[in-house]
Amino acid sequence: MNKTPIFTKYKTGLIVLIILIYATACTNTTKTNTGDKEKKSKYLSQPLVEHIYTADPSAHVFNNKLYIYPSHDVEAGIPENDFGDHFDMRDYHILSMEKVGGKITDHGVALAVKDIPWAGRQLWAPDAAFANGKYYLYFPLKDKNDVFKIGVALSDSPTGPFTPQPKPIAGSYSMDPTIFKDNDGTFYMYFGGIWGGQLQRWNNNKYNADGIEPAADQPAVLPKIARMNADMLSFAEEVKEVQILDENGNLLLTGDNNRRFFEAAWMHKYKGKYYLSYSTGDTHFICYAIGDNPYGPFKYEGVILNPVEGWTNHHSITQFQGKWFLFYHDTQLSGKTHLRNVKMTELKHNSDGTIQTINPMVE
């Protein structure tokens, strides 16, 4: 009787097994890739970088190159709360690109908490400016008494490293500094944010640790503005409030959560008009109001960006290579409130000066 050698049997079985494993692996790979594509297709834009977590992008064009100054999110292991203790950022990384859609460079650590003489904790959303042949990085940071102040650091390069001044800017407080340069060369700082940003603790530029938001039927807490001195290290005037008005010319109320200011003031200028944009915080809109001068008042106009995935939103707007762009963040990479990723998308002004609302998720 003719028998098949046992080795041949095992060899044949082994080949079949390998084929089955390979086929299964290919099938699983296809499913995973499809899932990734489906996940990405949910979002209007993709993260600019994925190797670190970034948020609160302030974008500027220096020497025909786009620079983005974001927060650098880390896993601090602190439970979430309404005061943002879980956002315990320790340094800044600066990003740059030469063209939209091109390579993005991370220039490494530009400034760290450990290098700031007056530092307490929480290095939140920064901004930058160029003047006097220097680059200035403005940053909010809690001092050793756990009160937010705004500091400034200098560098010869837009990417740093930045050397901090020994003390915060005199008269500064709260968070989210934004530097706006008007056509006449004058610089202004807008700043402020409620809840964890502590703006509700300040009244007429005086601090009260027990300060709270006004009642729902009272005017909302307003962002602040101060003109900068030529040295870019100090305020040239007393800090003032920036009024945001409704369609009837009245101040927006605290209870008007879909429109009132919460944090993240930004200023851009378009066809002679001043556009103050900001986040509504707990209702997650990026809104805007239009005025005739840097101080306002500003009349509420509408929504720039609908809510993103994640609790916070914080943005900037700048013109680059002939188009306007909105920079913002969400939580696509992590799915966690405090581990965010920055994005950008084109922003369009209508013929009447209003801005087209952007949906961050694709329906």
Q: What b/e string do you get for 294-319 counting C-beta neighbours within 10 Å, with b at 16 or more?
A: bebbbbbbebbbebbbbbbbbbbbbe
Q: Can you list the pairs that 24-32 forms with residues at least 24 positions away whose Cβ atoms lie under 8 Å?
A: none
Cα 363 to Cα 360: distance, rounded to the nearest angstrom: 10
List the structure tokens of 86: 């879980």
Q: How far is 356 from 288, CA to CA, in rounded Å?
A: 11
- In whole angstroms, what is the distance from residue 150 CA to residue 299 CA? 27
Query: End-to-end CA distance of the chain, in Å?
Result: 69
Alpha helices of 286-349 — where are they, by DSSP H? none
Rounded Cα gap, residues 210 and 202, in angstroms: 10
Which positions are annotated as active-site residues?
56, 263
Neighbouring CB atoms inside 10 A of 241's CB total 18
Q: Which residues pair with 109 in a beta bridge?
A: 93
Answer whether 360's CB lies under 8 Å from 45's CB.
yes
